[in-house]
Structure 1
Amino acid sequence: MPELITPQGKHSISAILFDKDGTLLQFISLWGSWAGCFLEQFTRQLAKRGLEFPVQHRAALLGTVHDAGGKITGYDRNGPLAMGTMSDLYAILSWQGYLHGLSWAESMELVTLCRQEADALLERSRPVLPLPGLLRFLDQCAACGAALAVVTADETAAAENHLRWLGIRGYFSAVIGTDQVERGKPFPDMALLACERLGVLPAEVAVIGDTNGDMRMAKAAGAAVAIGIAGAADSVAGNTSAVDAAAARCLLPDADSIVQSYEELSIERKAR
């Protein structure tokens, strides 16, 4: 059985379940691009209808951090953009349109238009970047025979695309999107379905994620260990900043182990 080695100890496991955004892919590179396009289109479409969406409300809407020029440079990893499903995001934005004077039907049509524009931007630019040390770690997992799966709040088809864009789809035996289960994170449904697809028991798996929703999902499913990725990668500025231990524990209170990046993790075959 493979042995996962963390700074806090070793864990005998059969499989690893990964969150996708902020865990495999750098979050801001992908979703900063998407959200920035969406909010720009949303503001523009409201203006065409004689309505104004206040600039000061944009960050609070999805849980994003903006620089002085309005560009998204960070995110609240426990906010809607990081933890919500796509349906959650569309509902939040549709509600804003309704609050600003559109009918619910008009607001849903506007959100659909903005979503199509943002999705098209991603398809053209494919702004996906791996977290530091990820590819080395995936190669180690493959060499040790650990079964791997992705469990994401994103929809399955979109997740499959993002993994292919990055060239890592082949590492994973299963990709579970929130559209495949009744309840998303922090509930255990995705983790349990992934274990079923992999043919392993929850007590034999590690869960790696960047939000406390991932950690709570792991706990609810009965996973062997929940590992939080605390490092904050800002691909827009080209910087990677560390989160100090106290801040990391506040962000990921239910994690069994917290690391800054995959450089702190390794996996090897357990000696008989």
Structure 2
Amino acid sequence: MRGIKAILFDKDGTLVDFQKTWFAIGDVMALTAAGGDREKANTLLELAGYDFANHRFKADSVFAAGTNAEIVELWYPEADETERQTITAGFNTITAEEGAAASVALPGSKDAVTALHGQGFRLGVATNDSTSGAEKTLLALGIAQMFDAAYGYDAVANPKPAPDAIHAFADLTGLKTSEIAMVGDNRHDLEMARAGGAGLVVGVLSGTGTRETLAPMADVILDSVADLPEFLGAA
């Protein structure tokens, strides 16, 4: 851990409060896909992983961990590739604009980012949201200036859990992947870290993942990124 020089963060559930930020946006998307039919929209939300009984998205569900393209594939099974691309572009616009506007930072996340940046760590974001959505969210939270890059699913050939984003971040920073820590709240984040050879794999319990879902892949599990500066400082 003493060799860690950069940190790649997941966005939703790690820096941003997933549940508070994304249900309303997911509901707009589901209603759009359902043509305004409330019952059908609820069915689509459940299909994508929303648990109405507990008012939260399930760990590792399509909505919690997947891309807009995967949501479109799930919700529009009869659409051809051209139609899906058009629908995905529309959903990208919704999530980029509405997601940034509605983003709620997790408690302590902005202070943690500021502290880590001040300690000299290179910082990046890897998300299965769009790149535009990630960049707009960082700007909305007032922390964009501390990040070297943001990689959405559309910025790499293969999104999480493939290791493309961690390789891209290593190329950008000139570091080895073993010098990069990956922090995330879902198995997709940690699987990407393992596949990419990250030097430290950190699971956080601030999103949709649980200790049980994260433990098999994580080197350490923290309550949230608010605990990361102290953890790395003590390493």
For the residue of structure 2 that corresponds to 1:53, the secondary structure is: helix
The 8 Å contact of residues 35 and 118 in structure 1, kept in 2 or not, is answered as: no
2:18 matched residue in structure 1: 27
1:115 matched residue in structure 2: 91
The 8 Å contact of residues 25 and 130 in structure 1, kept in 2 or not, is answered as: yes
Distance between the aligned counterparts of 1:73 and 1:26, measured in 2?
Answer: 14
Distance between the aligned counterparts of 2:15 and 2:73, measured in 1?
Answer: 26
For the residue of structure 1 that corresponds to 2:154, the secondary structure is: helix
Q: Pick the aligned partner of 1:91 from 73, 84, 102.
A: 73
The 8 Å contact of residues 72 and 87 in structure 2, kept in 1 or not, is answered as: yes
Distance between the aligned counterparts of 2:178 and 2:15, measured in 1?
Answer: 22
In 2 relative to 1, CA 217–114 (structure 1 residues): closer, same or farther, beyond 3 Å?
A: closer
**CA-to-partner distance for each residue in 1:112-145, whole Å, 9 max, x for gaps?**
697389459717x811111122122112112111
Q: CA deviation at 1:257?
A: 0.5
In 2 relative to 1, CA 106–197 (structure 1 residues): closer, same or farther, beyond 3 Å?
A: closer
1:188 aligns with 2:163: yes
**CA-to-partner distance for each residue in 1:8-67, whole Å, 9 max, x for gaps?**
xx54311000011111111122221211111223333469xxxx7384x33432111225
In 2 relative to 1, CA 109–213 (structure 1 residues): closer, same or farther, beyond 3 Å?
A: closer
In 2 relative to 1, CA 116–172 (structure 1 residues): closer, same or farther, beyond 3 Å?
A: closer
Give the structure-1-normalised TM-score: 0.74
Q: Pick the aligned partner of 1:253 from 208, 216, 220.
A: 216
Distance between the aligned counterparts of 2:170 and 2:82, measured in 1?
Answer: 41
In 2 relative to 1, CA 152–109 (structure 1 residues): closer, same or farther, beyond 3 Å?
A: closer
In 2 relative to 1, CA 268–60 (structure 1 residues): closer, same or farther, beyond 3 Å?
A: closer
Give the structure-2-normalised TM-score: 0.85
For the residue of structure 1 that corresponds to 2:160, the secondary structure is: coil
**What is the one-letter code of the residue matched to 1:266?**
P
Q: Comparing both structures, which one devotes a greater share of its residues to strand? A: 1
1:143 matched residue in structure 2: 118
Distance between the aligned counterparts of 1:117 and 1:143, measured in 2?
Answer: 33
In 2 relative to 1, CA 40–252 (structure 1 residues): closer, same or farther, beyond 3 Å?
A: farther
The 8 Å contact of residues 38 and 117 in structure 1, kept in 2 or not, is answered as: no
**What is the one-letter code of the residue matched to 2:166?**
A
Structure 1 spans left out of the alignment, 5+ residues: 1-9, 234-242
Distance between the aligned counterparts of 2:82 and 2:160, measured in 1?
Answer: 30
For the residue of structure 2 that corresponds to 1:179, the secondary structure is: coil
2:190 matched residue in structure 1: 215
1:53 aligns with 2:40: yes
Q: CA deviation at 1:270?
A: 7.2
Greater Rg by CA = 1
The 8 Å contact of residues 4 and 200 in structure 2, kept in 1 or not, is answered as: no
The 8 Å contact of residues 96 and 130 in structure 2, kept in 1 or not, is answered as: no
The 8 Å contact of residues 96 and 134 in structure 2, kept in 1 or not, is answered as: no
Distance between the aligned counterparts of 1:46 and 1:79, measured in 2?
Answer: 23
Choose 27-36 or 205-214, whichever is displaced more. Answer: 27-36
1:197 aligns with 2:172: yes
**What is the one-letter code of the residue matched to 1:122?**
E
Distance between the aligned counterparts of 1:205 and 1:106, measured in 2?
Answer: 37
In 2 relative to 1, CA 207–53 (structure 1 residues): closer, same or farther, beyond 3 Å?
A: same
Q: Pick the aligned partner of 1:161 from 104, 112, 136.
A: 136
2:8 matched residue in structure 1: 17
Number of positions where the alignment pairs a residue of Structure 1 with one of Structure 2: 234
**Off by >3 Å, runs of 4+ in structure 1:** 44-47, 103-121, 267-271
Distance between the aligned counterparts of 2:231 and 2:224, measured in 1?
Answer: 18
For the residue of structure 2 that corresponds to 1:196, the secondary structure is: helix
Q: CA deviation at 1:108?
A: 4.9
Q: CA deviation at 1:156?
A: 0.8
Structure 2 spans left out of the alignment, 5+ residues: none
The 8 Å contact of residues 140 and 267 in structure 1, kept in 2 or not, is answered as: no
The 8 Å contact of residues 50 and 56 in structure 2, kept in 1 or not, is answered as: yes
